[in-house]
Amino acid sequence: MGTKLKVLTLNCWGIPFLTQFRPERIEAIGNQLAKGDYDIVLLQEIWLQSDYEKLCSLVMTVLPHAHYFHSGMVGSGLCIFSKHSILETLSYRFSLNGYPQRVLHGDWFAGKMVGLAKLLVDDIRLNIYVTHTHAEYNPLKTDYSAHRIIQSFELSQFIKHTSETCDGVILGGDFNFMPSQLGYSIIRYNSNLSDAWLCQKREGSEGFHANTCDRPDNCFSNGSALDRNPDGQRLDYLMCRANSGYRVDCDECTLTMRRVPGMHFNYSDHEGVQAVFIVKRSVTALPPARESGEIEKHLTAAVPIIDDAMKRVKSDKVYCIVAMVLALILLIFTFDVSLPFGLTALVILLRGCLVVTVAYFFWTLVVLKTIELKGLTAARNDINNALKSNPPL
């Protein structure tokens, strides 16, 4: 028969002060999970420690084992709840996470990452991964393209190199990539994982019903997102894989956690994804063959994106130098300016602004752009090495 595991992933949209009905939705999520329908729950965007503790108190009788993955300034937002004991945990923070000056985007402050929890279920060693990668924000701009691709590569490498000794792998989270995008393909093929929605035994797994975000039937979807994607986007996933001697099959994968019963709002701006996995021993089972051609194709496609980003960073560094020098010249010039009485305060204010400007561009040049360039260079080298080691077909 095998071991049956019902798994849920949900982006809870728990941004304090900015998201609608957050306290009510967190409590509703906890109450729903407390019904005991799930063996493993993977949540994203639980930003407040108090929200995490609230969920723990609501689900402790049915999901007694929990772990929050701390990262960044405000926390990763990632946590796991389980019916089964969590033996070990490990996390990896992505090397590039956007830009701190873009405060409203917030990814840099969150420290986007992947978390690993090792479980032992009926003597089966399972690696459970939860992640939330950098958002796209504006599909017409490529500011974050390289960062997002690098995160997908680092996520896939982390899974690949930490799952060699386990019996089965389950990955869940908000990838912020649609299936047609490069990042999704890198995660899927380089990690050698199967998409639960596509490999499930239940028929009718294609189409609109897979979309998890910006759906027209979600009360939190906004007009601009619906204009771009009238049917919504598929951004949230569950994926799986077995190693030698085991099988991991997906019986069914469906959307859930949608409209809160008796309320006029949804649990989140994302739909939840739930899947029923059957894990069983099989002495003849071999791990799925790595699709070398797909891996090579998608990793090769990532290289020019990173190269373009490296060129942009070098150009940004030149811009920073020019801006800093001009601000310094103007600052020096203000010391020779003689103004009528009463206007001195304006000069002092101008000097203060120029000092801040110089400091900002100096910090951006010496610290932020240097870190970004090194991160891009390291990722490019890692991808080149992965391409060299990828066995030919």
Which pair of structure tokens corresponds to residue 94? Answer: 């992505």
Which pair of structure tokens corresponds to residue 163? Answer: 């799952």
Q: Is 338 helix (H, G, I), strand (E, B) or coil?
A: coil
Q: Is 386 helix (H, G, I), strand (E, B) or coil?
A: helix
Per annotation, catalytic residue among 84, 134, 147, 270: 270
Catalytic annotation present for 270: yes
The whole-angstrom separation of Cα 364 and Cα 51 is 34
The whole-angstrom separation of Cα 239 and Cα 264 is 31
The whole-angstrom separation of Cα 284 and Cα 181 is 35
The alpha-helical segments, DSSP class H, found in 40-141 are 49-59, 107-110
**CA atoms within 13 Å, Cβ hemisphere of 224:** 4
Place of tokens 């680092």: 154
The whole-angstrom separation of Cα 322 and Cα 317 is 9
**134 secondary structure, DSSP code:** P
Instruction: Output the CA torsion sign for 14, 16, 19, 22.
Output: positive
Let me know the angle formed at the C-alpha of 141 by 228 and 220, rounded to the nearest 5 degrees: 40
Q: Which helix (H) or strand (E) holds 246?
A: strand 246-256
Which pair of structure tokens corresponds to residue 135? Answer: 């958002």
Count of beta carbons in the 10 Å neighbourhood of residue 50 = 12
Q: Tell which residue, 100, 65, 74, has the closest CA to residue 15.
A: 74
Q: Is 284 helix (H, G, I), strand (E, B) or coil?
A: coil
Place of tokens 């994302």: 270
Count of beta carbons in the 10 Å neighbourhood of residue 150 = 29
Q: Tell which residue, 211, 115, 209, 119, has the closest CA to residue 171.
A: 115
Catalytic residues: 270
